Amino acid sequence: MATQKIYDQTDNWASLAAQVADWQAAGLKVAFTNGCFDLVHRGHTDYLEGTRALADKLVVALNTDASVRRLKGPKRPVADEDGRLHVISALGCVDAVTLFDEPTPLAIITALKPDVLTKGDDYTIENIVGAQEVLANGGSVLTVPLVPGYSTSALIKKVLEAYGQS
């Protein structure tokens, strides 16, 4: 039987928090990151693999469709949340994935208490939501290098230009 990788957020991540606590009790280091991960591309996979290299387990929280629309505008996401959950969960470097609808991932970070929190190197540690909480729990907060030239917005633009729309 396959290990559960997709966790429902309706229980305020209690089942995922229990899994994280079990991993930590077994001496495993757990990393956490979050994002939209719309139209997954090399930049996303390199980032997730880079985050996973910092720990034994990786938990990814995806913005819900409504949350992505609030952040990116009414035409996004291109891929719906169910599809994004399944694509991210299929990556070998990802051990668990869930959704969050809040304006920031602070509630899930607080619930999970990860050992490592990451964002891309377009962030500074001071601007990473949840950094204070993770540091206060003895964890670390790190930025992971992004691959230049890869972004979902650039990918969307390229597709629209290739098919005569902009």
> Per-residue pLDDT tens for 2-19?
467 999 888 889 999 999
Which residues does 43 contact at the CB level (< 8 Å), separation at least 6?
Answer: 146, 147, 149, 150, 151
What architecture (CATH level 2) is domain 6-162?
A: 3-Layer(aba) Sandwich (3.40)
Q: What angle do CA 155, 96, 89 make, to 5 degrees?
A: 40
Whether residue 1 is predicted with pLDDT greater than 60 in this model: the reply is no
**DSSP, residue by residue, 114-148:** -SEEEEETTS-GGGSTTHHHHHHTT-EEEEEPPPT
Kindly tell me if the per-residue pLDDT of 152 is higher than 90: no
Q: Report whether 110 contacts 71 (CB < 8 A).
A: no
Over the stretch 22-32, which tens digit does the pLDDT of each residue have?
A: 999 999 999 99
Q: Pick from 121, 122, 114: which is nearest to 140 by CA?
A: 114
Contact 62, 97 (CB under 8 A): yes
Predicted TM-score of the model (pTM): 0.92
pLDDT average, residue stretch 108-112? 97
Work out the number of other CB atoms within 10 angstroms of the CB of residue 128.
20
